Amino acid sequence: MKFSLCVLVAVVAVSSTNAFTARTSSSRGMISTKLHSTTETEANPMARSKSKQPVFDEVCETTGVTLTRFMNEVAMLNPELRELTTLFGAIDTACKAMTNVVKRSQLPSSETLGYQGAVNIQGEDQKKLDVITNDILKRALRFTGRLGVDLIGTANSDNQEIVIEEGEKYVAVFDPLDGSSNVDAGIPTGTIIGIYEHSDNCEIDPECIGDECTELEAQCLANTLQPGTNLVAAAYCLYSSSTFMAITLGNGVYMFCLDETIGEFVLSHANVKVPADCNIYSMNEANFDKWDAPLKNVVKGWREGTGKSGERFTSRYIGSMVGDVHRTLLYGGVFGYPGDTKNVNGKLRLLYEGAPMSFIMEQAGGISSTGKERVMEITPEYVHQRIPVVMGSKNAVQEILDAYAAE
């Protein structure tokens, strides 16, 4: 009864405005526009074109909208997104499992302590948790049957494997446990996920053998190398004092907090907007001397209160991208892992860190750039390509872009 009551309330609530009339004629569009306020949506240059924007029925948020319910409503109002919402069902379950594994990981009895004793394709020591979280999410996504080619094994920071499923719609890329170097100290970590549409020129005959396979697999791999502007959805899950999941389907950012008493992610922040102005920067300052001059000058101005805003900034840096970006979305600020004289492309991977997090930041009204280019417009040349990234409050990030442009 609560569900229909809730919806009923919604209709009545908005009847005074023109939204109700909208409900009778192609109601859905208007309702979402209404709740997002028409002007706001029009003013949000990042909002996907109307036809691509999923619509939500948000009025129920006050009564506690679970992620499952939220996705059901999205599917109901946007039948073309039904398969995508199924994927989010798997992501929901996997993130609940991963938050438990992470939380228990430091218990003496835990099997997940320490290193796997192997290195991943990038020569980094692999933690047992990296492998376990990779398997949890890979299996959860695979068994939705919704992934055309899940190059998860390949398109993530850890190991090599391709799984082929015929004829489905999406490709998933993800970093199963971003910031895993912090996990043994109980510092926040997270999972980052990007969902692309799977293009058809990737039909692999599972019977293929030898070089023929590798040729076709390479073609499929290329299939994943899409710019962020092709993302249909992105999400991160933060494992910290609370477990948060933030998602975008191309029409705003929605955050859900895990209520462990009911085992559900519950909508906690609807249509998140990162403050345009801020006084926080978040970068590994140990690399300061190796940064480009434009960036150094801007950060120096922020430290001294001589920057564009005249505000003296403070510094916050967890060293886990998901944690630093989550705080930036809520409090405002500039998070970045810029290039420097040692690592010209910085440290973050474009495909499964930079692009998905940039999609979320842009959908929240922020900016994400290399300093010179919009991260979302860069097409990866290879899976583990790294990219310099600065993202966050638009006026502060713009200050960095202006400094580079003036260089």
Give residues in contact with ligand FBP (CB under 6 A). Answer: 124, 157, 175, 178-181, 284, 319-321, 337, 347
CB closer to ligand FBP out of 53 and 112: 112
Q: What DSSP letter does each residue of 121-152 carry, written as one string?
A: TTSPEEEHHHHHHHHHHHHHHHTTT-BSEEGG
Residue 5: other Cβ atoms inside 10 A: 11
CB closer to ligand FBP out of 175 and 292: 175
The token pair at 21 is 């009339």
The residue type found at 52 is K
CB of 202 to ligand FBP, least distance (A): 26
Residue 222: other Cβ atoms inside 10 A: 16
CB of 108 to ligand FBP, least distance (A): 24
CB of 53 to ligand FBP, least distance (A): 30
The token pair at 129 is 């948790």
Q: Are 124 and 145 in contact (CB under 8 A)?
A: no
CB of 171 to ligand FBP, least distance (A): 20
CB of 316 to ligand FBP, least distance (A): 12
CB closer to ligand FBP out of 114 and 319: 319
Residues with Cβ < 8 Å from 142, sequence gap 6 or more? 150, 152, 163, 165
Over the range 128-153, which residues count as b (16 or more CB within 10 Å of their CB) and which as e? bbbbbbbbbbbebbbebebbbbbbbe
CB of 33 to ligand FBP, least distance (A): 36
Which 8-state DSSP code applies to residue 238? Answer: E
CB closer to ligand FBP out of 269 and 347: 347
CB closer to ligand FBP out of 92 and 178: 178
CB closer to ligand FBP out of 103 and 347: 347
